[in-house]
Chains A and B, each alone.
Chain A
């Protein structure tokens, strides 16, 4: 698992940690800038773009999950992150993805679920 390093934040103590609004992975802003979101870079396109990082991620999140085994973990499944890379995820992320991403999701027929736990079913 040589890739693990890039999907886990190098520290958890930083107050700058940001959570992706779409997949809720937590990384440092620098890491987002360097590699983008490991899960949804295709949509978010945050790599090398601090502006995008600012709009697509947030520091306002609550609860930290260390997902070590995404495929088998129920927690990851419940959080709908079992398809994502191993990493640190937020339980709850405040905010919504930018409209362009939302419409892109829409065009792909994917239902957007905000991660702020406002909608539950």
Chain B
């Protein structure tokens, strides 16, 4: 390009509108300024105007850029060293930026870039115009110098200075001119020419996320500035008080979308809204209600050791960042002394937050010196610590200092001297703002400052800070007066009934006793103590506090455990504490946290003075003492009863007494039968056994037997489901379903269970016969302190009942004839024997038999002391397992001495033995033949030696034994095909007839020969014709179930083997029969072998 062309451009430059606009913006620096500068922009301007000259542009642009760079370098030389250094550094650092720059050279052909370029060039590019097309460096420089010289000569020094500042303004520190400061802001309001402002929604997630987005917009804009797609954003901003949105200043909404594209956390889809031109300034004008921190005001600390503590501002630094505070120190009175001052200091830091916070305590020089033996690096004054805090570490809003805190501050002052540094007025001032918020129409207020001071009235309406009241009294009575809200306060007079609305004493009610300025003192309805609060926190209220009976998890009249020894009943709830009465009648005030647990005594019972049981909610009367009446609230350890009577004023009507001194107000049904063993229920008798009995089951009621049962739901939405009962409550059961892992509440009626033999579904309350459920009725649940017979839901649980009544359902169910007992129970023989313990003592075996629970009646009548009968039982328990073992019987000490030693069995202690009845079982179920043969043997001896011969006894004994026998042989053994050839020779013995009273039992133990037996259908009883040896009844048909094979008795007897691999073989007994019989076959006498006696059936000799 030639100079001529430059000239040409020069000429055009002056009229470039773009340039003019820029110039306007930067004050009227004059059109003539930088005559050399204009060509640059002019050239650009021209370029823009003649866009079709693309080729030329392409050629020129890179050159321009290069020149530009060169130009800058030139400029640098002229600058101060510092400036250059800075720049060079930047260069170095920004190497990538430089390469980017180079990149651009190839690309800057785009029209879009021109605007940017133009601005850029326009700022400092006048020289380049001159340089245009100069390839010869020397010539170029010379030209440049000359130009500049000429230009500068024309200028005044001021102009030169201005130019310089303007030229380099964007790169380095400018001379601060404050040039726009004179313009009022209203003149800066946006016009239609300005770019528009767009509101963009962003994510509200982390702290100042918006700030990051605004920042990344900036970075993005800079990054892509010289690429093909610059962002064209002019500015973007965010306000802390407008979370979730940012504002972008841009020409069109498309550009906003482009700018936001790809930024994380920006939601252009939520709408990019144009901010109307008249509202553009608003987001920038938002002013936070600034809480000015002035000396004397109250603040709280946000963090650290003093977090939340009230502090008073002492001074504020110039820039308002640091605030000097004074507050009550928290000095650890027992600093951990780990040797050496330095060491402790370090340690202190590390253990800082984990430690307990020392309490607030005024500084005391002596104490601290004693504790620390050195000086603390802190400033203390008047017991208060003075310390600097960052403003950001302080809470300025909603400080709401309480009276307590303030008084802590003031206390010290009172002690020393009265420099009124801390004044209640300050707090009043601080709380006044808040007071406005709590005013409500209808409140009675008074004016305490200003012209109208002293006027009082009722609030009509509140309009922000202006309150309209209807005045009461004096001349302006009835007039409406508008007042600033801050100069009125709520008015109370002594005698008003008030309620505290907010703060520490919230919900407290009481009667106002005095009013001092804005501090109202009232007597609390609940605690009857004086409480002082700010009037702003009060309202007039008719209600009386203590509206709730519950504090925390505890309610009025709950039985609570404070420690191991004391159980208390809550008789009064206060705001955050209880009044409790312990079992010794002492009254205490406790906080909820002191209570370790709540006790449930719903199922507890005790006995009253008459031995009757008493339960919760019974109306009882004291027998002695004051004769107070009341309803039982709780029973503790079956000994203490807590009663309540509204008529008693003391302790809220609750009193404690001993259960033994109570009698029922009304006679109750369901009295315990006189015959009942009271010693078991009587806590007084249980107590000596060591407390465990009583305490062991306190609070643990009897478990519902259905808990844990697997049940089938037969009705309702869950019909068909199977589950396990987890808990029951009355008729409702909580069932954990097998499926879905769900627990449902369901009526027990809808649940069925399966009963064992065939898995039949039956209702839950169905109980199979023979399950001894009859016991539940006569025995109240949980009697005698939780030994519940009903829990022993099996055939063995026979014990307690037999004392009342020998004919237990179990007995009947077992279909064994009780008759003989009833009849023989009172035979003289029995009584005689019970009075003559000798045989039992020396024999050591029989008493055990008789002591058997199944023969209680004789004792009841003969022994004469039925009440203590139960005492005899325990002796049996330990031996229960060895029932069928004779040797065990004889040696059992309990049997001989403990059980039968006359007085021993009247002792109350044995009552503790819970399951005496289990003893008889082993023999009952034992099918072992061994058991069957022995008793018979000595039974006879016994009878013989008994000094009181009694058939009854004999019979009884025998029968008893037999009854327990089961035939070791299968019912149809007689018809076994193995024996068919010897059937007519079999010797049999009649057994078990007495128990079933078969043929009156006359034939029991009679032996005879089988004359004939024919098997009949399975449905019929098998029978056989027997020819008996002794002639009473020569021949008789006997049911085969009563026939057992008779064992061989003598040597050379023939016998048939009944079982085993040699079954049916006829053998000859070779030695005297014992338990094992040595036998051999007739054919081969030499091969002898042993067979158990009970596996042999004696045969009559062959005819």
Contacts and interface: CB of A to CB of B under 8 A. Distances in A.
B211 A12 contact: yes
Interface string A54-87: 1111111011111111011111111110111110
Contacts of B257: none
Nearest to B72: A2
B554 interface: no
A43 B176 CA distance: 7
B174 interface: yes
A24 to B, nearest CB: 12
Contacts of B186: 121
Nearest to B182: A111
B284 A74 contact: no
Given A66-B236, A75-B235, A117 B195 contact: no
B321 A2 contact: no
Given A75-B197, A110-B176, A110-B177, A60 B90 contact: no
A111 B320 contact: no
Given A62-B288, A66-B237, A78-B190, A2 B218 contact: no
A73 B195 contact: yes
Contacts of B264: none
Contacts of B212: 12-13
B137 interface: no
A91 B283 CA distance: 10
A68 B233 contact: yes
A5 B94 contact: yes
Contact of A40 (B25, B173, B184, B286): B173
Interface residues of B, number: 74
A1 B285 CA distance: 31
Nearest to B122: A71
A2 B91 contact: yes
B87 A74 contact: no
A56 B189 CA distance: 29
A105 B570 CA distance: 75
A112 B234 contact: no
Interface in B238-292: 238-241, 247, 249, 280-281, 284-288, 290
A66 B217 contact: yes
A5 to B, nearest CB: 6
Interface residue tally of chain A, by bracket? Answer: 35 or more
Contact of A83 (B180, B182, B221): B180
Q: DSSP class of A's interface residues: helix, strand, loop or mixed?
A: loop
Given A3-B87, A68-B218, A71-B119, A63 B190 contact: no
A105 B219 CA distance: 33
B805 interface: no
A108 B90 CA distance: 32
Interface string A81-109: 01111101001101110100000010010
A67 to B, nearest CB: 5
A115 to B, nearest CB: 11
Contact of B284 (A5, A6, A75): A75
A76 B235 contact: yes
A59 B392 contact: yes
Given A2-B91, A3-B90, A69-B234, A60 B391 contact: yes
A8 interface: yes
Interface string B32-70: 000000000000000000000000000000000000000
B819 interface: no
A91 B284 CA distance: 7
A95 B391 CA distance: 12
Interface stretch (B164-172, B417-425, B613-621, B960-968): B164-172
B130 to A, nearest CB: 23
A12 B212 CA distance: 6
B173 A77 contact: no
A5 B97 contact: yes
Interface in B177-226: 177-182, 184-186, 188-190, 194-195, 197, 210-212, 214-215, 217-219, 221-222, 225
B940 interface: no
Nearest to A104: B176
Given A74-B234, A96-B318, A110-B177, A63 B239 contact: yes
22 contacts: A2-B94, A4-B222, A5-B93, A8-B222, A41-B173, A42-B173, A54-B319, A64-B210, A65-B214, A65-B238, A66-B235, A68-B234, A71-B22, A75-B234, A75-B249, A80-B188, A82-B25, A83-B180, A86-B170, A92-B287, A94-B319, A116-B290
Interface of A: 1-6, 8-9, 12-13, 21-23, 35-43, 54-60, 62-69, 71-80, 82-86, 88, 91-92, 94-96, 98, 105, 108, 110-113, 116-117, 120-121
Given A39-B176, A68-B236, A94-B320, 4 more contacts: A12-B215, A54-B319, A78-B281, A95-B319
